[in-house]
């Protein structure tokens, strides 16, 4: 999933000319938003949508959530999030390479997600 997310993130889209118009969010943590707690690894692509006059109207977020039973090893990871935005001084490869070397990957890879959700939301 991670490599596919980075490939999707490398595709540029025709977005507004603002620093936060096209971004990627990587986040994880244990949450109980819709019932019992689950450990969620959430890969998000966010696009800014402007109105007819060019002003910010809303964001569209495309999520790929991997949901796991909240095992003690996953709960111990606590919460983490990091953003990447195009049209800033950051480079996608640098951001992705840094995340790819993080110590949480070997822990997460020991478990199979019980559910994968792909959805879009307006923010």
pLDDT in tens, 1-44: 899 999 999 999 988 888 789 999 999 999 998 889 999 999 99
7 lies in which domain range?
Answer: 2-122
Enumerate residues 6+ apart whose C-beta is below 8 A from 120: 60, 61, 62, 63
DSSP for 33-73 reads TTSS-EEEEEEEEEEEEE-TTS-EEEEEEEEEEEEE---HH
Its pTM surpasses 0.85: yes
The whole-number pLDDT of residue 54 equals 87
pLDDT in tens, 50-86: 999 988 999 999 999 999 999 999 999 999 999 999 9
80-85 and 56-68: which strand pairing?
unpaired
pLDDT in tens, 32-43: 988 899 999 999
CA distance 111 to 92: 27
Enumerate residues 6+ apart whose C-beta is below 8 A from 51: 57
Q: What is the DSSP letter of 19?
A: T
The domain tally of the chain equals 1
CA distance 21 to 14: 9
């Amino acid at each position: 999933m991670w490599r596919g997310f980075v490939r999707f993130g490398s595709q540029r889209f025709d977005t507004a000319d603002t620093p936060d118009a096209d971004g990627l969010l990587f986040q994880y943590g244990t949450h109980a938003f819709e019932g019992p707690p689950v450990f969620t690894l959430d890969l998000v692509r966010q696009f800014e949508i402007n109105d007819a006059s060019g002003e910010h109207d809303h964001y569209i977020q495309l999520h790929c959530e991997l949901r796991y039973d909240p095992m003690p090893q996953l709960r111990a990871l606590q919460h983490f999030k990091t953003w990447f935005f195009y049209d800033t001084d950051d480079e996608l490869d640098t951001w992705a390479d840094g995340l790819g070397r993080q110590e949480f990957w070997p822990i997460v890879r020991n478990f199979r997600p019980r559910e994968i959700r792909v959805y879009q939301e307006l923010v």
